[in-house]
Amino acid sequence: MESDGEVEVPLKIDGDVEARARAVWGPPVRRVLYAPEGRFLGPPRRIAYAGNTVGLLSVAAVVPPPGDLPAADSQGQGGGKQILVLYRYTHFSAVPDGVEVCGSTKLHYLRFAVPAAASPAGSLRWAWSSLAPLIYPSCQSSELQALWPRMISSDGSNGIPLKATRVKLIADVGILRREDYTQKRMSDVSTALQDMVEEPWPGYHVGMELRLPEPVHVPCACADEAEAADGEDTDCERPAKRGKFVEERCPICFELLKSDVAVWPGCLLPHVFHGECLVLALKESEMCPLCRRRLSAPDEQV
């Protein structure tokens, strides 16, 4: 359902998120300051514009000590590797002397479970692309989809270490009414937003847990030949998750699955796609393009 341009999403929270939710919802409403664990990655905040929207992004990453990396990798979706997104947006309108907040601040908390064979840095592209159908106001979806890539680095990783097991992204977004748009007012929104993010934020809270696709390595010809010749070693990379999709085609683009291959999580039969095709698909829906299984579906719901 949609109401006032905003998408209603199911509430799925665990105890950790529930405690934060009570702090935001519980009577009486209290101000809550979200302080992420981990090392912040510079610069302190990235600012970007897209149409009548402006956003500030902070990123923190947790990298376990070298001796703890094997244990963190083995935990996988059981609590080891995660991408946590705190996304807050505020609507602004024009007044004679600048801009002012109109309506309430909306706060969304999403936790993405990263497969054991993947990394948060490599899985970030699927997490951010799925935000559009999950939390973006429908009337501003195109602008907000354009805004997020501008807040992160050109390679999409935002400088996140490959060995990071937990990544937290805090996005504060201002949305100016379209009919009020001018460059001067957008500058005013940016200034107001930077002042606001220094304060604790009350607001409406939606907590969701989702599973991300799992990348799969497609063996090259030399690897297959080595296996046929009593497993002689080759120079090919051999990650934890491997699969053979000879002559299989991506159900989205219908091109052969030769590289950048990923499996949708939780399907009864493995549904395999190009990773970049999933980025485009997730901007439209969190459901598998073939069986319609949701990223947010519990393991027992297929």
Of residues 81, 75, 78, 68, the one with CA closest to residue 162: 81
Sequence-ordered list of residues with C-beta below 8 angstroms from that of 196, at least 6 positions apart, any chain? 90, 172
Q: pTM for this one?
A: 0.75
Measured from the Cβ of residue 249, the count of other Cβ atoms closer than 10 Å reads: 13
Cα–Cα distance, 134 to 110 (Å, whole number)? 10
Q: Which residues of 86-97 are buried (b: 16+ CB within 10 A; e: fewer)?
A: bbbbbbbbbeee
Any alpha helices (H) in 6-66, and if so which ranges?
Answer: 15-25
What are the extents of the domains in the chain?
Answer: 17-211, 214-282
Q: Residue 251 in 3-state DSSP?
A: coil
Using an 8 Å Cβ cutoff, are 74 and 81 in contact? no
Rounded CA gap, 122 and 179, in Å? 38
Q: What is the C-alpha to C-alpha distance for residues 241 and 215, in angstroms, rounded to an integer?
A: 7
- Please check whether residue 214 is in contact with residue 262, taking contact to mean a CB–CB distance below 8 angstroms: yes
CB atoms near residue 129 (< 10 Å): 21
Question: Token pair 């046929």 is at which residue?
Answer: 228
Find the range with the poorest average confidence among 102-111, 175-184, 235-244: 235-244
Mapped onto helix, strand or coil, the DSSP state of residue 226 is helix
Cis, bond preceding 43 (omega within 30 deg of 0) = yes
Quote the distance between the C-alpha of residue 136 and its chain's center: 12
The model's pLDDT over 122-152, given as tens digits with 9 standing for 90+, comes to 999 999 999 999 999 999 999 999 999 898 8
State the pLDDT confidence band at 239, using cuts at 50, 70 and 90. Answer: very low
Using one digit for the tens of pLDDT, what is the confidence trace for 29-81?
A: 333 334 455 555 655 677 899 999 999 998 888 888 776 555 555 544 445 79
pLDDT at 175: 97
Mean pLDDT, all residues of the chain: 76
